[in-house]
A and B are shown apart, each in its own frame.
Chain A
Amino acid sequence: MLPLLPAVLLFGSSFGVLARSAGFDPLATVVMSATTFGGSAQFAAVSVIGAGGTALAAVGAAVLLNARYAPMGLAAARSFEGGRLRRLLESQLIVDESWALAQEVGRFDRRRMVGAGLLLYPVWVAGTTVGVLAGASLGDPAALGLDAAFPALFLALTLPLIATRNALAAALGGAGLALLLTPVAPAGVPVMAATLAAAVGLLPRRPLRREAARGGRSSRGAPGSRSEAAA
Chain B
Amino acid sequence: MRITFELNGKRVECEARPNKTLLDLLRADLGLTSVKKGCEQGECGACTVLLDGAPVNSCLVLAPQVEGRAVTTLDGLVDDPLMAALRKAFMEDGAIQCGFCIPGMLLSAYALLRENPRPTEEEVKTAIEGNICRCTGYIKIIEAIMDAAERIQNERP
Report whether chain A binds chain B: no
Query: Could you tell me which A residues sit within 8 Å of B by CB distance?
Result: none
